[in-house]
Amino acid sequence: MEFAGWQSMVQECEAILVRRTGTSSADWAQRLRDEGLSDQAHARDWLTGQGVGGRGQDAVIWAAFGLPEFFTATGDELLEAQYADRPELRPVADAVFAAVAGWPGLQLQARKTYIALRTPRRMFAQVVPATKSQVHLRLRLEVPASDRVEVLAPNRDQPLDRRIRLAAVEEVDTEVVHLLRQAFAASS
């Protein structure tokens, strides 16, 4: 299974910026320099004032100030680092990845602290090595709380507000796969 690194997200952010503003991150970065903005906080404030926010703003910041160091890691390197101090949880994450393998349009994108499961439209799940004994499966899905599903407090920055705690491979069962399929379908 292939885990995309940050480059795919950088490209997506650039596409969002161009779609929303008609201007590339390189052009916006030049505007920042022309304005004499040399720190990220002031640059972000200025961009917000120009109507550039969210992922598009990230693309400009990366073009102007460079990518964070961990962006250069491959997807596999990011995944290995996530489980380096908790190798007993890696099979649990692998069971989730195996359950979704082959779904049409599915992308697995490695981030510094989680793996994003995405459709071409948006992220529908995250696999997070959250503790030393649990992987958290976060979902973008409107289902009520149950003995398996926790409803998390609403957070504007985190739309995946359902959590399933997984401590063993056996817990990636038909119910979990069904919930993953529902979240995938709702985000396709």
* pLDDT tens-digit series, residues 149-165: 999 987 877 889 999 99
Q: pLDDT value at position 10? A: 85
What pLDDT sits at residue 48?
96
- Go through the chain and tell me how many residues it has: 188
Q: Which amino acid is at 75?
A: G
Domain edges within the chain = 6-68, 75-187
Residues 41-54 have pLDDT tens digits of 999 999 999 999 99
Give the predicted TM-score (pTM) of the model.
0.75
Residue 28 exposed, middle or buried by CB count within 10 Å (0-12, 13-18, 19+)? buried
Mean pLDDT taken over the chain: 93
Confidence of residue 103 (pLDDT cuts 50, 70, 90): very high
